[in-house]
Structure formats: C-alpha cells, structure tokens
Structure 1
C-alpha cells in the first residue's frame, strides 16, 4: 500500500474545490432560474388582476361610484407594492386572505346592515330619477297623427340604439334611458341614416330575432320626460309617444292627465296621492329603524315572526339534544370491548353523514310523500299520512330527518372523546365500588363535556341556520295564510328571511336584512353566553 504524496493531496484538494465551485454555480443558476420564473408569474398574475381592477374602476367611475372606485385603486396599488417589493413576506400571504375576508364577509355584513335601514325591495330598487322616467314611460300612449321617423336599429357592445332621421332630415341616436343626441357623421342612403361609425347595423334577420326587445324600447326625445319618447312597432319607423303622467319638477309632483289626480313626494319613497295611493315604482330611501319597528310592532308580521322564532329555538335545541343523545348512546355501545365487528357497524353508522345533506333531504321528501311515498305505501300499507303538509307532523318529520343526518357526526366525536378518557380513572372508580351508571355520570360525562361543549355550541348555531334541511324537505310549509310575510309553520328564521327577500311576487330586502341582523345578534349572544358558561374558551386556550 503506497502513501499519498504531496502532489496527490494537492490534486485531490483542487478537485474538491472544483466540485464545490461547480455545485455552488449550479445552485446559483437554479435559484436564478426559479427567481426569473417567479418574477414572470408575478407579472402575468398581477397583470391579469390589474386589468380586471382597471375595468372595475372604469365601470364604477362611469356609474358615478367614486368612493368604491378609489378603494379598488388603492387596494390594487397596495397589492402591487407588496408583491413587487423585497421583504414584506407576511403581507404577501395575508393580502389575498384579507381581500377575500373583506369582500365575502366584512362587505357583505356592512351592506346587509345598510340595507336594513332602507326601504329597498320590489318597487323601491332605484333612485328617484329612474323612478320618474319609469313612471312616465310606463304610461305612454302614441300621439295621434305623430310624425314618422325613419329608423335604423344599431348595436354597440351588446346595447341596442335607435338611429333616427326626423322629417326635416336631422339625424340623432339614443337608447333606453339615453335621450336622443344629434350626430353628423352618419352613413346615409338617400335621406335615411343607415349606419354610424362604431356601431353595427342590424339586418332584418337580427331585428326579427330581437323583436320583443326592440318593441319594448322607449327612447326619450330629450332630458325632459314630458317631451315624450320614440317607440317602434316594426323596427323600420318610429313614432312619438307621450305619457299620461306629467312630472312637474318645480313642484315635485306627478299628475295623471286622465283623472287630474296629483301625486306628491311625501317622504315615503313614492309619489303618493291625498288618499294614500302610491305610484309604483318608487325609489330607495333611508327609513331608519322602521324595518325593525315593523318586525316587532305590526301584528301581521310580529305574530308570525315570534312563532318562527320560538320554533327556531325549539328546532335547534331538540336537534342538538337528540343527535347528541343518540350519537353518545351508539358510541358507548360500540366502545364496549365485548362488541364484535365494530368497524363494520361503524361504517354503516356514518353512511348518512357521507351523503350531501340537501340530497338526503330531497330523498326523504320523496319517501314522505303523502300519496306515493315509501313510508305510506310500503310501511303503512297505503295510508295517506300527511308527513309534510300537517303542521305538527311536518315538524316531527324535520326533527326525524335531522336526527338521521346529524347523529353520525355526534357518534364520531363522542367515540373519540370516550377513547381519550384515561382508563385508570375509570378503573379507580370501579375499585371504589362505583356502578357503571355512577362512572358514566360522575366521570365520563363531565370529561366528555369538556371536549364536546364547543362542538355542541357550534352545532346549535348551525341548526339555528339550517336552511338546506328546511327548504329542501318542507319548503317551510304548510303556509300561514294570515301573515303579511311569506312564512310557513316549519320555517325557521333563515328560511323566512330568504322568502321575504326572494320568494313571491314582491321582495322586501330591507325587512329581510333587519331579520338577518336580529338573527346575528341572537346567535352571537347565545354563543357568547354558552362559551362563558361552559368555560370552553379557557379549555381551548
């Protein structure tokens, strides 16, 4: 065996240095490559976001919503600064979450609070100017012997407009809620304007395809709604229509020329006559606490509201109690070491929890159908039991289906909590002579509540707003015909809010928002009290 010479050592040392330098160069190249790719991704992603933000700012600016436009501009500029600056690593992770939090939580809550203090709803969903124009246009009648205007239908960015040539040969263009404006550069075919730069002219086939939309168009002749508007029956000629409702801007009144009745703005968001008759549509105004006063003062709303409130508490409490009781019972049974094939039984027990809740509710609704449901036809021999149309049976059916859907969840958490209880504590109690019931009541149940109390509180809050089950199973019915609001015997607060806002011929978003705030206050108050009573927050901390 030969001993390495000094030259061999130097050669080996040089080779080691070369290898080390090569690895370092490779590492630097890889980092440079990653940095370049990351920068490219930032530029592309933020470029798309900036383009969307600029479009939003443009739309908001055109709609005279300056404050939202400024907010979008500031947030976009801040996001660009965060992601293109060095450092600020926490902000790069927090910014997306904060933006989504504001859009989907904070803004939604603040906007709901704002709507609760307005009369926003059917007939009151725009500003006063739009309501005036709508009233005037809705009462239009064609002027006898009206001059005919040559008409060409044009389109720009999906919006239709009238390109008209009056009997004097002057050309103008306008659209719905856009008064006619003179144009000088129209393309003429004889004495008729047939095209305009930046607009697409509709042919006969396109006019037929949009016939209903074109027939409903009403183009104001000027900014004064009393001057009338142009409408067309065939898409080729337009005629002057005047309204039977005349608006007096100085007096702020609307007069019906057929009856002579004068409607005034009395501060209720609609033109109102002396006998209390209102013209619809009206406009959106701030009404203060009127919606909350209506919820508690008007008998036709207060009675159904308190009935729904009581049923909501009963439903939420019984749902938590029954699901927890059955889940705990099954967990205790399956936790017994003498139980065989427990894993197979557990799979069967959690099957209801594995299916989507709304789908299960629809299946149960079919099974409980009075005429051809599985329960009546098969289990009860063709009996016509009104599971979903009788008030009390419908409530029982909801609790039964919710028990079927909810107990597997309680079974799972109770199983885990029971298995976490130290066996030596239970064994010591048995040695001291405690019975099985005493061990359960004095040891297992208190230790179990320490673990599951927060989950029981959250389950109560969930069932307090369990929209899917109620709406999919009974739709809130049977209907309470004596109420001024759309509400049924099995409605809970959240389904009542949905119906007031979206179901039926009229919607009252202001009242629905007031109900939403009441729900939030109730759930928050109950949750805070429950957490403090059970000291769950301290246990979690």
Structure 2
C-alpha cells in the first residue's frame, strides 16, 4: 500500500520547467555539497583572518569607527555565506563591497578633503602637530638621569621599554604614546628586556635600524612639556626637553629661547604676531575656502581658467577628430567592392591594441626636437619644437590622441553601419537619393542612435585623459607667467590636479580635491544634458 501511495504521489507531481530546474541547481550549489562547504569555509577563513589582522591594527591605532565597520561587514559576510537562503545576496555582496570600498568611499573622502586644508604641513591632528613640534626642538637635559632602555617593536612600530634608575619601575611608550607603567615585563639584572605583545630587537637589529632609533622620541608623560626619552645606542636613554613650551589652555606655543609666542589662529597652525607660522600644522575644516581661492586668487584663477578652456578644446577636438576619421574609414571598409578588408582592418586597429601610455612615450621620442625620428628623418634634420612650443605642443597632443583613438571609433562605426538593414539603403536608391543624401539623411541619424552614448563616454574619458598628456609632454611646456600653480600649456584639469597634489615642495591635497569635485560636477552636468538630448534620436528607431 505504501508503494501505491508513493506511485500516486509521483504521478501527481507536475513536471518541472527548465527555469525551475535551473533554480533548483543554483539552490543546491549555493546550499553546497561537502566539497563546496569546505571551499566556502576555507575562503571565509581567509577573509576572517585578514579582517582580524585589520581589526588588531585598527585597535592599536584607536581607529574605532573603521574598526566597527570592519567587524560589522565581516559578520555580515559570514552570515550571508553560511545561510542557505540568501542566494541573491551571495552574488551581490562582493560587488557591493567593492563598489562601496573603491567608488563610494573614494568619492566621499575626496569630497571631504576638498573642504579641509589637508596638504604639506597640515597632515595630521593637532595633538600630532604639537608632538612633532616638541620633538623637533628637543635638547638634552644636562643633569638627566641615565635610563636603561630596550628597543621593542610591534606591527612595524618602534617603542622603548624604560627602566627607572631610582625605583626600578618599568614603563613602555612609543613616539605617539607616552610612557605607561607595565607589570608583565621580563627583568634581567635590574633591566627590563621584554614585554608581552612586543618583540625585543636584537643588537644586530638595533644597529640595522640605528637611524630610526636615534630619531625615536618617547614622550615622558601626557604633558608634552615634560620632555621625552631618547637613546643613541638602544641601551641607555636620557631625558630631553623642548625649547618650545605648549599651553593647551591658552592655545599657544612659546619659544623659550626667544620669547616668541605663537597662537592657534583656528586655521590649523601656530602663528606669531609677525605672521611667522610654525610647521607642521594640523588638518582643519575650512569650508568653501579652497573653492573661493580657486576663483578669487589671481595666481590660481588665471592658470585654472586657461587649463579649463584647453581641457574642453582637447576633449571636443579629440572626440570629433577620432569620430569622423573612424567613420570615414568605416564607410570605406564597409563598401562591398573593398578587397583585403581583413588585412586592412587588422592594420588599422593596431594603435588600439597597443598600450596607450607606451604609444605616447614612443611618440614623445619621435617628436624630440634634437634627435627625434620625425625631425631627423622626415624633415631632414630640422629643429621643429613639437613638444616645447606652446601651440605646437597642443597640436602634437591632438595628433597623437587622434592616432590612439580613431581605431576605437572605426570599430564602433563599422559595427553600427553593418547593423543598418540593407533594404533601407535600397529603398532610398529607388526613391532617387544620391549617396551623400543617403548618408546624411539615413545612415548618419541611424548611426548616431548607437554611437552618441559612446561619444559622450569618449568625451568624459578625454576630459580626464591623464595618460596621453603626462606620458607625452608631462603637461609642458611650463607656463612662464604663472607662479601659483605648477602647470603647463598642455595640462588638462586632471594633470593639474595631479601636480597640485603630488609634485612640488608644497602639496595641497585640499585644493586638488576641490578641483576634482569641480571636474566631477562639470562632467556629470555635460553627461546628463547630453543623454537627455539623445532621447530625440531614439524616435528614429
């Protein structure tokens, strides 16, 4: 009877559709066999180990917010992948995490930096700036007691294990953390030689890192005016005090040797009455000051305006030239009577297959004024300043970018032309249209339906085409009448941002981030307007 009921049940169950069978296979795969479960546990173990190490480092540096985010994300990932029901989340989680980490966080952090004075001399917090200023002016106390010290290390951070000569108390500190008493130190011969959680450096390691150890200054207490312990040989330490005296309540820093008082003006630095600034300063929120500087400071506004105009010219001319040359070649190679099409196509797409930055470097060598191939061979030893004359450099950049960019447009236009039905062309011929009319009134509008979004993307790419500019001219030749920014005649906004942030003696990350925000807004506005305009072309479909 049981067999009969089982047979009736199987006969009553409807057959599964292909989609249901596919979903069942996905569920089984997500649920996992024993082998899949082991692989899942192994991968999650690696993720958890990395997260645990990151949490340990963040804990040591008191980065509580980031530590909390790491713990929450790690717990969420484990919950998703050990669950048998969260199948969509298992596929979406890696992409979302990467999107947040490499896109959203980058945009938000860049926007935040744009509203600060972050840059050379203003990198850390006020406490770090005070500690750095005090360390930079340390002098040894003449009657300082001699402390037995042991150099220790943890996660790449050096510290000093200090034994007090009077009472034998043991304390531990680093460059950023003042001395604190420890109870679990190992003492040999009245000297602390090891402590739990830290690695004691051997004599050979001390010699190898002598420069770092000599520069190490461990604050004696929470009060920076109490001085710091320093060592020359990694064995004996002495008390050093600063020639600067810090008053936290008044917000002043006084040079005891000259009597000069430096006051915290709220702009991220101690400044004297004569305007002299103590560096390093610290990072503070400045609001829209960076944006106001960009449009009001003549030393910034003038080169910014010039670079902005050239950026638009470069992007527009690059897109137009590459598109029309690519379209022309596509029309030629789409002709039925064209022979050896495949050979020519392979030759034409070689610049696209070649890495762009290498192509720019090679063109830079060929355009060299003294020994370049173009001057020496093609023009018989002429001294044409392709890359050193302001106007010729711009023409050279556009020509090289045309060589690099037309194969892409050629491939896109060729594919779009082949997608236009042949009967449309035949109907136009029957109606008496000539080839130019067919192209202008039929093929080009249909082509733009497909190509316009790509043209917008190409404009955004060339608007930020850092590789071609920097590899070919490095933004030069330098603008001689500009002193505020290290920019040249072929610099785009993106290469100017790079120079403001990463070159020169004074690196202004806040101003560079403000420029980046401006670039983002400009490109976004142009893209939105362009995509709205392209809706009119969709009616052609």
**TM-score in terms of structure 2 length:** 0.89
**Correspondence 1:50-69 to 2 at 5 A:** 50-69=48-67
Counterpart secondary structure, 2:51: helix
Corresponding position of 1:124: 122
Corresponding position of 2:461: 462
- 1:373-416 superposed Cα distances (whole Å, 9 cap, x missing partner): 11122112222222112211111111011000000111111111
- 1:438-460 superposed Cα distances (whole Å, 9 cap, x missing partner): 22222221121112111111111
Give, in whole Å, the separation in 1 of the partners of 2:148 and 2:397: 64
1:428 aligns with 2:423: no
Q: Is the 8 A contact 1:454 1:536 kept in 2?
A: no
Q: Is the 8 A contact 1:169 1:191 kept in 2?
A: no
- Out of 393-402 and 167-176, give the one that drifted further: 167-176
Shift of residue 188, structure 1, vs aligned partner: 4.7
**Correspondence 1:88-487 to 2 at 5 A:** 88-168=86-166, 170=168, 171-183=170-182, 186-196=185-195, 198-481=197-480, 482-487=482-487
Aligned residue-pair number: 513
Counterpart secondary structure, 2:238: strand
Corresponding position of 1:502: 502
Q: Which runs of 5+ in 1 are unaligned?
A: 1-27
RMSD value, Cα: 2.4
Shift of residue 169, structure 1, vs aligned partner: 5.2
Give, in whole Å, the separation in 2 of the partners of 1:446 and 1:511: 43
Could you list the runs of 4 or more consecutive aligned residues of structure 1 that deviate by over 6 angstroms after TM superposition?
A: none
Give, in whole Å, the separation in 2 of the partners of 1:512 and 1:540: 43
1:535 aligns with 2:535: yes
Corresponding position of 1:84: 82
Counterpart secondary structure, 1:153: strand
Distance 1:201 1:43, change over 3 A: closer
Give, in whole Å, the separation in 2 of the partners of 1:435 and 1:312: 39
Give, in whole Å, the separation in 1 of the partners of 2:154 and 2:458: 53
Shift of residue 496, structure 1, vs aligned partner: 1.1
Give, in whole Å, the separation in 2 of the partners of 1:70 and 1:238: 38
Q: Which runs of 5+ in 2 are unaligned?
A: 1-24
Shift of residue 533, structure 1, vs aligned partner: 1.3
Give, in whole Å, the separation in 1 of the partners of 2:524 and 2:318: 19
- 1:428-487 superposed Cα distances (whole Å, 9 cap, x missing partner): 323333222222222221121112111111111111111111111111111224231222
Give, in whole Å, the separation in 2 of the partners of 1:85 and 1:195: 45
Give, in whole Å, the separation in 2 of the partners of 1:238 and 1:201: 16
Q: Is the 8 A contact 2:126 2:283 kept in 1?
A: yes
**TM-score in terms of structure 1 length:** 0.89
Q: Is the 8 A contact 2:245 2:256 kept in 1?
A: yes
Distance 1:108 1:502, change over 3 A: same
Distance 1:510 1:443, change over 3 A: same
Distance 1:450 1:197, change over 3 A: closer
Shift of residue 149, structure 1, vs aligned partner: 2.6
Shift of residue 536, structure 1, vs aligned partner: 7.0
Counterpart secondary structure, 2:400: helix
